[in-house]
Structure 1
């Protein structure tokens, strides 16, 4: 008996991949501290390097933001994300949302996910490296906007779809990678820095694919083709008028085609599977990410 193929697991980051969190954070900071920052000013997740202050002060700001109405009004990404997740769920992928948010906002986060992305089957809070989480739950594809997480998880051999919405997520651009490598290139390297210098990747791995929209992401999961796409169906030859025109044919040949038991063949192109039909077929790997 044919055993069912294990469902592929797709892990999706939450902030800036499914939710406009940074936009709300910037609006909150501008209104609270009379600043004039824009999302494009943030080229790192180390926010204190952008708005100033210490790491500890930045953590307190984030905590205050979580308690504000700005956090409650975070909007979902309007980039075909919901439609994409629905399609993947319909094709029997297991969807897991992974977030680095702290546990004290778990209830608010769950309400956001339930309201805007009800098709996800699991919500994981990262208290350890994301690569460890991916290993533990058996992730096949990770969709994330973080360059650091992309590097970290690319060593697992899974496919990484690096989300760079409209090419404007400068914190995951390649020039950030070059700056990071240059940081450890000073002549006065410590032993730790020397180790980091050799471990810091110089370019994106081949299994990291930059995506500028959710439509590009969904294109990596093409709709399965029906196994009956090109079928041959026997059809009775009823073209009597054409047979009469074959006056030069030999009697035996004419008798053969006139035989009521004779069947010809025609090629029929079958349309791609409907949403219901495609659920009956397993998913296979091809030259994209997953089929």
Structure 2
């Protein structure tokens, strides 16, 4: 019997980008951010500028610094998340679908091999940050690989997936996703326990 496929995002889904961003920001920019600051409602694009209370240009420079120092690779997968993924792998095929940019592809695959060995059957990248003529969405990749589910923290990605007939689980309670209208077929899950509950119908 063919296992259903779950497409899973990395940043703030598989592991916490917010946590390493807080540490980076407080150490380098004199901020006093906490996870509570990331509950404030705001638009997905420009959210970090809102948190930092800076303009678009300064925000872009800080985020570029964050990426160039490879801070996202400091993320860890919580032990309880890894345990749950190991359980899910018995009944589902797990695929990574991420919008990390091209210069992160190899490092991301190495990071996954280190932190989640033998968990994922494939890694797929969306050219969200790269200058590409092929505008690929996560919904398109889900269709290409036959995924029945997408777990992602982005309302836009989840809405597009749902509109393509893919069940989308909108992950987390972040300021950029708590106040948005959802398409039919998008369901909110605050953590991996709720993902498990949804998938197994408990």
TM norm structure 1:
0.58
Structure 1 stretches of 5 or more lacking a match? 178-202, 223-287
Structure 2 stretches of 5 or more lacking a match? 128-135
Alpha-carbon distance between aligned partners in 2 of 1:29 and 1:94, rounded to the nearest angstrom: 36
Please give the residue correspondences for 1:46-125 in structure 2 after superposition, counting only pairs within 5 Å: 46=46, 47-51=48-52, 52-54=54-56, 56-68=57-69, 70-78=71-79, 80-91=80-91, 93-118=92-117, 119-125=119-125
Structure showing greater radius of gyration is 1
Per-residue CA distance 1:78-107 (angstroms, 9 max, x = gap): 5x321222122222x221111111111222
Bigger RCO of structures 1 and 2 (CA < 8 A, at least 6 apart):
2
1:40 is paired with a residue of what secondary structure? helix
Say if 1:144 and 1:72 are closer, same or farther in 2 by CA, change over 3 A: closer
> Which of 171, 174, 193 in structure 2 is aligned with 1:169?
174
RMSD: 2.2
> Which of 128, 132, 150 in structure 1 is aligned with 2:140?
132
2:150 is paired with a residue of what secondary structure? strand
TM norm structure 2:
0.81
How many equivalent residue pairs? 187
Partner of 1:145: 153
Partner of 1:215: 193
Contact 1:140–1:158, Cα closer than 8 Å, also in 2: yes
| 1:149 to partner: Cα distance | 1.4
Contact 2:166–2:185, Cα closer than 8 Å, also in 1: yes
Alpha-carbon distance between aligned partners in 1 of 2:71 and 2:166, rounded to the nearest angstrom: 35
Alpha-carbon distance between aligned partners in 1 of 2:125 and 2:149, rounded to the nearest angstrom: 18
Contact 1:21–1:75, Cα closer than 8 Å, also in 2: no
